[in-house]
Amino acid sequence: MHSGMNDDMQQQPVPAGAKKTTAEIHDRVNARLKAQLGQDAFASWFGRMQIDEIGRGTVRVSVPTAFLKTWIRSHYADALAAIFAEEVPGTLRVDVAVRSAVRGASLPSPVADDPAGAAQAAPMSTKAAEGSPRQAERDAARPSGGAAEFGSPLDGRYLFSNFVEGAANRVALAAAKAVAENGPQSVRFNPLFIHASVGLGKTHLLQAIANACVAREDRPRVVYLTAEYFMWRFATAIRDNQALSFKENLRGIDILVIDDMQFLQGKSIQQEFCHLLNALIDSARLVVAAADRPAHELESLDPRVRSRLAGGVGIEMAAPDFDMRKGILEARIQQMHAEDPSFRIESGTVETIARRVVGSGRDVEGAFNQIAFRHSVGQPLSPEHLDDLLNSITRTGGEKRVRVEDILRFVSRHYNVSKTDILSARRTRTVVRPRQIAMYLAKTMTPRSLPEIGRRFGGRDHTTVLHAVRKIEAERAGDPKLGEELDLIRRMIEE
């Protein structure tokens, strides 16, 4: 797990009463962003950010391209606003603008409350940036860290090298590797469709393909996204009159990797997706997709999309056996140990978890994450607690498992905010609060890791999720009313 939050907290405070200069603030904000995101992601998205103005509760920053602005607004609005609020007490909003070619002039647009208006002020195709905007957008979209243009950022930890192979996934892994090796020339496996029940490694494998493709020498344009993200981006593009550039952008890519196809809904969106699928496959671009069931069983899908997906190579992954489960645990322990050398876990505990948690890779990781989380807050699990934990994980198998999707639905209903708002970059309190509660519930009711939850919440960083979980946990401890409210929502979701 990335330890950004901890690094971040180690920063030296400026003595009370001392007024920081803009340059000092910029340095501190940069240091925090680097600590949270890692050097590569920081350099890609914030390396060219400038602070233009600070005052009256507003910080104005600028970046050289509309693409960077859009990306920062949709992926890092929360992180940026939270950091500025800490560094510049009294900050209520952060405006991100595109720097004009004329030195110093910029086109402001709020990061928080009016994404639609903001996007219209400087659409992606606006020639407002210095140099060649298209080129700058491409450069920004191809950071050395491997994030792909337009889609969700890739998680650098999902690699072939730490994907544990076993009888359950051998064929899928071989196909995935072949696809990554041949890149856009993988016509034999086009589209490659991987299906498996929850938590069996679809996302890991898809991202491993995308990560490997991004690193190829022929530098294909790779887009990884979930069906939900596709829907959200498409809806936003229509609202912002950017549907054309949205389509153009996607049709120009070489490899599309799309996850969670079972969530693709809506007639016009499916139509659009079908056009995209046809355009890509017919022009020999590679499509890799995944869902929780075989393509022909995806009943909510438009029959044309279904048949196009079923016309490629479909491969199933099954549940991991004991050796695979042990392998997954060992891989996670190794990773954790590299980040925090003080991290220890008894070998007997590893065997116990692998023996008792017979579900998916996620269940195995869920048990591990709980143990790691306790370790990180200085409260290691005692043997009895481990037993309780394993009992609760093995009890909540199969159909009764709570999904982030269910949590989002109930929270949005309970607080009367739309799911789109919860997933958006909006930072008004009426949206932020339910979002944090939903994140807290996702962490405590599902075995998903912080980065996974971040991805489900509109591609947010795991530190944003951690912040939300800690905040709600702390408030809950001092506010019995909040405790009751959370229990009520929890019961509704479980029922």
Instruction: Indicate the annotated binding residues for ATP.
Output: 199, 201-203
Residue 95 binds ligand ATP, judged by CB under 6 A: no
Least Å from the CB of residue 190 to ligand ATP = 21
Q: Is 406 left (phi over 0), alpha (psi -120 to 50) or beta?
A: alpha
Phi, psi of 95 (to 5 degrees): -95, 130
Phi, psi of 359 (to 5 degrees): -80, -115
Q: Which of 203, 211, 236, 370 binds ligand ATP (CB under 6 A)?
A: 203
- Contact between 331 and 413 (Cβ < 8 Å): no
Q: Which of 133, 199, 434, 454 binds ligand ATP (CB under 6 A)?
A: 199
Which of 229, 173, 227, 225 shows the shortest CA–CA distance to 196?
A: 173
3-state DSSP assignment of residue 257: strand
Q: Which of 212, 214, 328, 445 binds ligand ATP (CB under 6 A)?
A: 328
Q: Which of 362, 426, 435, 462 binds ligand ATP (CB under 6 A)?
A: 362
- The number of CA neighbours under 13 Å toward the Cβ of 305 is 27
| The one segment of 34-42, 200-208, 299-307, 460-468 that binds ligand ATP by CB under 6 A | 200-208
Q: What is the C-alpha separation between 241 and 230, in angstroms, rounded? A: 16
Q: What is the CA radius of gyration of the chain?
A: 23
| The one segment of 8-16, 161-169, 340-348, 475-483 that binds ligand ATP by CB under 6 A | 161-169
Determine the residue with CB nearest ligand ATP.
361
Residue 196 binds ligand ATP, judged by CB under 6 A: yes
Least Å from the CB of residue 169 to ligand ATP = 6
Residue 2 binds ligand ATP, judged by CB under 6 A: no
| The one segment of 146-154, 247-255, 306-314, 359-367 that binds ligand ATP by CB under 6 A | 359-367
Instruction: Kindly tell me which of 63 and 172 has the beta carbon lying closer to ligand ATP.
Output: 172
Q: What is the C-alpha separation between 98 and 81, in angstroms, rounded? A: 17
Instruction: Kindly tell me which of 138 and 373 has the beta carbon lying closer to ligand ATP.
Output: 373
Q: Which of 7, 52, 86, 292 binds ligand ATP (CB under 6 A)?
A: 292
Residue 226 binds ligand ATP, judged by CB under 6 A: no
Residue 315, strand partner residues: 194
Amino acid letter, residue 443: K
Residue 365 binds ligand ATP, judged by CB under 6 A: yes
User: CA torsion angle for 415, 421, 423, 428 (degrees, to 10)?
Assistant: -80
Helices 227-239 + 243-251 axis angle, to 10: 140
As given in the structure block, the two tokens for residue 153 are 């950022």
Residue 255, strand partner residues: 222, 286
- The greatest distance separating any two alpha carbons of the chain, rounded to the nearest whole angstrom, comes to 67
| The one segment of 24-32, 45-53, 162-170, 469-477 that binds ligand ATP by CB under 6 A | 162-170
Residue 169 binds ligand ATP, judged by CB under 6 A: yes
Residue 361 binds ligand ATP, judged by CB under 6 A: yes
- The DSSP 8-state label assigned to residue 13 in this structure reads P
Residue 396 binds ligand ATP, judged by CB under 6 A: no
Interface ranges with ligand ATP (CB under 6 A): 163-164, 169, 196, 198-204, 292, 328, 331, 361-362, 365, 449
